[in-house]
Chains A and B, each alone.
Chain A
Amino acid sequence: MSISSSLSRTGVAAWYERRSRRRRSSRGADASLAIGVAIIGIMMLAALLAGVLSPADPIRQDIPNALAPPGTDGHPLGTDALGRDVLTRMLYAARTDLFVAVGAVLLPLAIGVAVGTIAGYRGGIVDRVVTGVVNVVFAFPVMVLLIALVFILGPGIPTIIVAVTLVSWVSYARLARDLVRRERSMDYVLAAKVSGLPTRRILGRHILRNIIAQPVTFAMSDAVAIILFITALGFLGLGVPPPAPDWGTMIADAQPYFTTHWWLAVFPGLAICAAGLGLSLIADGLSQKWNAQ
């Protein structure tokens, strides 16, 4: 760090700088949040209205019209190797992928925060056991563990949600535990304790409200990771079983066609990028907003 920059952090100048940075970041946070919500909102709407937006059947094959390029009559984004409409499959895939992402985030969020909060507040043997379990799960290579679980339980949407939940609740538990431990010695908690409030109420009403921002922010970025994970599973043939469409499987199936039929991989790839971008912007916006507060 240079001398001038360290000097600038003192006194009035620093106060001005901090204040203006906070304002800027607050405006930025609103913008990211709005754009992120808009992207995800549009995608969810498109997924819900898939049947209306595209009259084609996402799984009906039409082999004589296979591999039609984008712009072909009735197929704005072309058809795949079995003659199925790429746009329609992408819309129905959004249902699968967004549903799995939401499911696979909410479950571990709920379980992890609950376990972490109790461990952090109670301390002692409960905390040591939970921390031990969390460390053990953390020590496993996540991808290997997930793939092993998918193998044991057999591929499918419920399996993906269960597998992701089993692995990823620990991140939330650790986060919540650390936050609660910090929080539990704060004056307002002590005051609540002294005034005789039951533990359940202290945790639910007071502590949880103060710590929930971080796990929720983390969940948004985790959802991006989960969409990528479903993609990876689809790529390994372990994702959503055929013929139901999902973006990852669509890209995996397109692999031999990369150089000759680009549309098969590019459009679902763009959809994944858009979903990832939308969720990242929401996470970013939320974290900036809460940090500013």
Chain B
Amino acid sequence: MRVIHVARHARTVLAAVAAALALASCSAGEATEPVSADPTATPATGGTLHIAGEREATALNPYTAIDNNSAHVFAQILETLFRTDQDGQVVPWLVESSEANADFTTWTFRLREGVTFSDGTPMTADDVVYSIETVRQSEAWVSMFAEIERVEAASPSTVVVTTSVPSPALEASLSLPFAPVVPADLAGMTPEEFGQHPIGTGPFRLESWTSGQRITLVRNESYWVPGRPYLDSVVFEAVPSDSNRTQQLRGGDLDIIATPPRPQLEALDEAPATVVGEFAMAFPNYLLLNQESDAFGDPRIREAVDLAIHRTNILEAAGGGVGELGGSFLAPALNFHDESLEQVERDPERAAELLDEAVADGAERHFTLSVAAGGTYANLTAQIIQENLEDAGFDVTIEQLDGATVLAEVGAGRYDATLFTMTSDIIDPLEVIGYYVDLNALWTGGETAEVATLLEEAKQAVDQQTRGDLYARIQQIVYDDRSLVVLGYQPWIWAWRADVVGYEVPMTGVPWLADTGFRE
């Protein structure tokens, strides 16, 4: 275990005054005694934690806010029936136990006793029924829960879910952070009001939301897990520039930050006051090739692109050496990720041949790579791809647009190639494959019909082996289609002050702050 020396955090006014006095009396200016940090230490109770990501939450209503920044906040307030833990296991959370019948079409959930909402009312089966009914009818998640037929309260503490087809992955689906348990009828509020004043069973409750500045959560005194949370309050801030976030972490204004810039990871890790954490390998990086554009209709052109790209260079230069290579479009953090599917072996000569053949048959050498302006990873990756492909005989124009414009153009299919990433909110790949199918192979016009059929079979496959085989076939189809050119995978990266302990991020990327606190 590495021993880190950490300057003790002056958290209260009294402590700050004491530190200032100590500083004044100490000519060398070393006011604070070095403390060796211990990652396994238990946190002390109390303290206010400042955590910052790139963007502010849009709303705290889980059924309308579909962005991860909102989930980061409301996941501390609203809890789900099941959770994905650090090891990637789906564990019961607000349910005591769950049971399915032999063909996995009827699930019986026995709810945990003694769970109350932050307004003091106990959680009942009616609340759970309302919550599942709402999420399965919400626009964003309707296809993920399409197989649910009926949700009924069998008793005040038992909920029975009936599905039209075998649904062995229902527990994983219900671990979706966007499917938490809310009070029935949103406790009389409209969805907009609930988005401003959410009520849940989680370790924290909302205290205030100053739009554009910060969201403050305070401890839910009636939280059902004894001794949790450790923190008195959590302040979520949005600092769009990763360099600024890092500076504020160094200065002690922030305690935890999301995605510090790659070039600074080493320095942050070596500095005594800060720690870098890499969590689940959950980000796949794709180069999307639009088969419906003039540029990529010919499969030989797509193969040429795939063969010409120098993935190790991208990982080194753009990814700062952090990440992995592989061939599957499913991230390694997901269940059923096919490890045997290796990254494409680079062969620029073969790429040039394929391109020449295709061009002789009327294909084009030129295409435009559209990327969002301002991102370091995208900027460097785009330039490496440009050089690799131009060496193989392509003619590549990089078009840097504002992020929202890129999304709009790509979503409308008006692009040749772009860089894209897609993360999963559950451990089972059914969510991301569902996106792939619903979004026209991520707007590339790639193969979806066969994938859709296999996905339906896999979702219903009770036997894990069968399920794995079906998912492997889907990964092979996408691999061979080469519309999603997999460049590599990235982990979730966070950095925090060395006096923060118990900070973990599961593969969903949504942090869980009930176990987080400051060292004594």
Give the CA-CA distance A238 to B376 in the complex, in Å.
14
Quick one: closest B residue to A255, CB to CB? B243
Q: Which residues of A contact B379 (CB under 8 A)?
A: 237, 242, 253
Q: Are B264 and A259 in contact (CB under 8 A)?
A: yes
Q: Are A63 and B313 in contact (CB under 8 A)?
A: yes
Q: Are B373 and A241 in contact (CB under 8 A)?
A: no
A292 within 8 A of B: no
B367 to chain A, nearest CB (A): 14
Q: Are A242 and B386 in contact (CB under 8 A)?
A: yes
A260 within 8 A of B: yes
Q: Are B397 and A241 in contact (CB under 8 A)?
A: yes
Q: Are A242 and B383 in contact (CB under 8 A)?
A: yes
Q: Which residues of A contact B373 (CB under 8 A)?
A: 236-238
Q: Which residues of A contact B264 (CB under 8 A)?
A: 256, 259-260
Q: Which residues of A contact B401 (CB under 8 A)?
A: 151
Give the CA-CA distance A238 to B399 in the complex, in Å.
9
Q: Are B402 and A256 in contact (CB under 8 A)?
A: no
B297 within 8 A of A: no
Give the CA-CA distance A155 to B370 in the complex, in Å.
12
Q: Are A63 and B384 in contact (CB under 8 A)?
A: yes
A165 to chain B, nearest CB (A): 22
Selected from B246, B376, B382, the residue in CB contact (under 8 A) with A242 is B382
Q: Which residues of A contact B384 (CB under 8 A)?
A: 61, 63, 82
B262 to chain A, nearest CB (A): 7
Q: Interface residues of B, CB < 8 Å — how many?
A: 32
Selected from B241, B267, B376, B383, the residue in CB contact (under 8 A) with A61 is B383
B42 within 8 A of A: no
A81 within 8 A of B: yes
A150 to chain B, nearest CB (A): 10
Selected from A63, A236, A259, A261, the residue in CB contact (under 8 A) with B317 is A63
Give the CA-CA distance A83 to B310 in the complex, in Å.
15
Q: Are B263 and A261 in contact (CB under 8 A)?
A: yes
Q: Which residues of A contact B261 (CB under 8 A)?
A: 256
Selected from B241, B267, B316, B374, the residue in CB contact (under 8 A) with A260 is B267
Q: Which residues of B contact A155 (CB under 8 A)?
A: 399-400
**In the complex with contacts A63-B313, A66-B317, A257-B399 CB distance below 8 A:** no
A290 within 8 A of B: no
Q: Are B243 and A256 in contact (CB under 8 A)?
A: yes
Give the CA-CA distance A200 to B379 in the complex, in Å.
53
Within 8 A of B (CB), among A209-253: 236-238, 241-243, 252-253
| 14 sample A-B contacts, Cβ–Cβ < 8 Å, listed by A number | A61-B384, A81-B380, A82-B317, A82-B384, A151-B405, A237-B372, A241-B397, A241-B400, A242-B398, A253-B379, A255-B241, A256-B263, A256-B264, A259-B246
Taking A66-B316, A237-B372, A243-B387 as known contacts, 19 extra A-B pairs with beta carbons closer than 8 A to each other, sorted by chain A number, are A60-B387, A61-B313, A61-B384, A63-B313, A63-B316, A66-B317, A151-B402, A155-B399, A155-B400, A238-B400, A241-B397, A241-B398, A243-B386, A256-B242, A256-B262, A256-B263, A256-B376, A259-B267, A260-B264
4 smallest beta-carbon distances between A and B, as pairs? A237-B373, A256-B261, A237-B400, A63-B313
